[in-house]
Amino acid sequence: MKKNSILALAFAATLSLFASCAKEDNNPVEGQGKQITISAAFPENATKVVFVGSNEKDPVSLTWEAGDQITVTATDNPTNTQTFTIASGVGTKQATFTGTALAAAASYKITYGTAGTYAEQTQAADGDASHVKYVATLSGVTDYTNFTFSKTWATDNGATYTPSSVLRLRAQIPNSDPNDFFGKIKAVVFKASAPIFAGSNELKVNITNSTDDAELDYLTIYATLPGEQEIAAGTTLLVGFQMDADKAYKKYTAYREFKTDMTIKAGQVNTIAIDCMNIFASAGKDDDGTAAHPYLIADQNQMDYIHSLLSTSTKKYFKMVDDVDMTGVAWTSLNNATGYNKEIDFDGNNKTISNLSSNSGAYPSFAGVAYGNYKNVTFDKANIDGGNNNIGVFAGYIGTVVSSENRNATVSGITVSNSTVVGTATQTNRNTGGFAGVVGVSGATITDCHVTGTTTVSQSGTTYYKGCCVGGFIGNVNLPATITGCTSHANVHNNLSYYTGGFIGQVGAAVKVEVSNCAFLGGTITAGRNSVDNSPVGGFIGRVTSGAGSTFTNCYVDGAQITATNSGRCGGFVGDGGDKATKNTYTSCYVKNSTVSGAKNCGGFAGTLYGAASKCYVESTTITANNDNNGGFAGYLENGTATNCYASATVIGGAHENNGGFVGNARKGDNVPGEITYCYTNSTVSGSAASVGAFIGGVTAVPNSVTKCIAWNGTQDFVGSAGSLDITTAITGNYTGTSGTISSQATTLGWDDSVWDLSGSVPTLK
């Protein structure tokens, strides 16, 4: 049977085939084991059936071909099977087949053709259909010697007919430079949102020769499918044209949205017609960038074309429908012109943008100044070389303010993985982050976003500029914002600027930022300033400034390796908790499995703690310092409070002063009294013998109150040194020693068992 003709007929809309009669001993019972002849026929005419958008209804011809075979199998016994080979009728619509008669059975299955794999097929040339295979089955046949491959015959004879189908793509595509497609197309890939290709979401047709017809800019592709396939409402189809290697981009795409009643018909040629002349054409209507019809993005050419579609007056909508590799594209951030008023709704649709590279223009990054809504995309293997800019893989700024007008941003579900961000500051206020450089608008929200795969974030230069910040996730948050459920797993290096954090470099002045359920999940954090000063470094955040009462809730650091030899404020969670007027709070936050190495004011949780820590702790962490004021929980606590907290750490103070198992130096400041209540430490501490304390290393000004605390230590005093200060009233009602258990001593001191689980030997926070 001619495959190129059968293709069309075998899948024709109206198959009415004629049966012939057997010409020898055709009684299956009496003729068992004998050579017999059977007959089959195809109809005289059939019509191609239109699928979508095509007005072609060409008559087709279907004839038998030399070598054709038919297999007959008993329904109740698969081993009772025989193959019949064509004997006469090649080139006609009726043929005879010879073979050995089967044993008698109640009914039989008659099969023609084998499809092989549906997932990947190869077509010889544009418009060639010789590779298409007709596969048909008649089931429940009682007399296999006379049959017809048609629905009509099957119905009349109490059987069922299941033919395969053909998918035919008729695509009008550009053929002139720079879009010289014909001769370059090596494959067409169909991707659907439902498994419409033999139970798969994807079908690939390789093309040996795609040279264009000189008169028409059409590409015609055929593929065999197994048969009837209903297509659910809302199903989308992506057609990707994979180009030859010498193309500037490797893939060009078009799209389809199926109607609610769409079905791939068995026994038919189902035609899809797509106009691909417009880069964003789809589904019989032009994309217009509205919420109802977003621009659909599936290749780097379309991704780069976003720049031409943005508007300063209308929000534009985009949706990714395939992963995009940006190799070879010098990317300029989307919204980077003064005014920053190109509002975007970008739905990554859980796809990946790989190999994004940006090193020029304002705020090198993907978005530049993110204004609008961005969600659900992964940036993998990005490389941002930002120079003297605010930079990050996703954005330089998440929102900003222009002439008192907010350019607000909502960001969710975005991941940066396996990437590098490098900045070189040559002036003050240049910020670098793995995700974004700056949060610059009041009310920005960032949810479920991540930096992972040990992204490298660094900033360097030759001159020190105060105000520059580096963070594994965000460099600087300088207006009120909400950050929830985000993480950073990064190597962070800052050899120039002032504030460094594994998650955030700095929360800026007078800013109330709410951060919850966020984490730094490991990596190296290094700060390379060449003189000892108060350049804060923290495993989670470098510095939180004063006045607005930022909150950190259920946040943690796990696996930070902090090396900041010249940092004067270095902490496993926060380097500098703020100045003396700060009301910042840290609730249910912790640090574990980390190392903190700095100059002075070093702590397992905070370098300097201003503000309030509640239900926070440090475990399995080592603090090493080369100057004074170091502790298992905080290096320096002034005008701050710690309630229901603990430290289980190792503090190595060398020959320096004020080293304590919980806090290095505790004192009352000018504004808010220093208070520590219901806290314990079982840290090991070393340092200058004159000022090493099991709980407090030294007191240089009398704190307001340290009470009901436990230092689990049999050799060191609760306070190492207080000089000539009288601390008997302020530091009282505490326990130092190793009698009983820590929990039993906590019970004696009246700790709240709604906060602490005191059932074990060591208290744990509930």
Would residue 290 count as lying in a domain?
no
In a domain, 301, yes or no: no
pLDDT digits (tens, 9 = 90+) for 680-728: 999 999 998 889 999 999 998 888 899 999 999 999 999 999 988 999 9
Regarding whether 196 and 157 lie in a shared domain, the answer is no
pLDDT tens profile 266-298? 877 888 888 776 655 443 345 678 898 888 898
Q: How far apart are CA 687 and CA 654, in angstroms?
A: 5
Q: What's at 511, amino acid-wise?
A: V
* 138 and 176 share one domain: no
Say yes or no: 150 and 174 in one domain.
no
Q: Are residues 651 and 732 in the same domain?
A: yes
Q: Last residue of some domain: 147, 164, 181?
A: 164
What separation in angstroms does the CA of 573 have from each of 454, 473, 541, 655?
A: 19, 14, 6, 25
Q: Is residue 76 part of a domain?
A: yes
Closest CA to 531 of 575, 502, 564, 499: 564
Residues 20, 111 share a domain = yes
Position 512 in a domain: no
As beta bridge partners, residue 457 has 421, 492
- Residues 143 and 205 reside in one and the same domain: no
Q: What is the mean pLDDT of the chain?
A: 85
Instruction: Work out how many domains the chain is built from and give that number.
Output: 4
* 8 A C-beta contact, residue 153 and residue 44: no
Take residue 55 and report the two structure tokens written for it.
Answer: 């007005």
- Alpha-carbon distance of 432 to 495, in angstroms, equals 12
Asked if residue 513 is part of any domain, the answer here is: no
Instruction: Name which of 195-204, 264-273, 325-334, 495-504 the model is least confident about.
Output: 264-273
Beta pairing class for 372-380 and 400-402: unpaired
What is the full DSSP assignment across 605-637? SEEEEEEEEES-EEEEEEEEESSS-EESSEEEE
DSSP category for residue 296:
E
Taking only the tens place, the pLDDT of each residue in 6-41 is 333 232 322 222 223 333 344 454 567 899 999 988
Q: Both 273 and 317 in a single domain? A: no
Taking CA atoms, 194 is separated from 210, 430, 749, 754, in Å, by 28, 47, 64, 51
Preceding omega of 226 cis (within 30 degrees of 0): no
For the four alpha carbons of 736, 737, 739 and 740, in that order, the dihedral sign comes to positive
**Structure tokens belonging to residue 192:** 């659907």
Average confidence (pLDDT) over 515-524: 97
Q: Are residues 25 and 110 in the same domain?
A: yes
Domain shared by 608 and 650, yes or no: yes
Residues in contact with 315: Cβ distance below 8 Å, sequence separation at least 6, in sequence order: 343, 344, 345, 372
Give the domain CATH number at 626. 2.160.20
Domain limit, last residue, from 497, 520, 537? 497
Residue 57 has pLDDT above 60, yes or no: no
| Residue 646 φ/ψ, nearest 5 degrees | -150, 160
Same domain, yes or no: 335 and 274: no
- Which CATH number goes with the domain that contains 406? 2.160.20.110
pTM of the predicted model as reported, rounded to 2 decimal places: 0.83
638 lies in the same domain as 741: yes
Which residues have a Cβ under 8 Å from the Cβ of 117 and sit 6 or more positions away?
none
Does pLDDT of 605 surpass 90? yes
522 in a domain, yes or no?
no
506 falls within a domain: no
Residue 247: C-alpha distances to residues 64, 182, 208, 324 (Å): 42, 12, 17, 15
Q: What is the pLDDT of residues 359-390, one digit of tens each?
A: 877 899 999 999 999 999 999 999 999 777 89
Under 8 Å between Cβ of 614 and 765: no
Question: Among 344-358, 453-467, 500-514, which range has the highest average pLDDT?
Answer: 344-358
Parent domain of 60? 3-164
Give the confidence band of 582 by pLDDT, cuts at 50, 70, 90: low
CATH number of residue 224's parent domain: 2.60.40
Say whether both 608 and 749 belong to one domain: yes
**Among 302, 208, 218, which residue's Cα sits nearest to residue 254?**
302
Instruction: Give a yes or no: residue 544 inside a domain.
Output: no
Given 265, 285, 305, the domain boundary residue is: 285
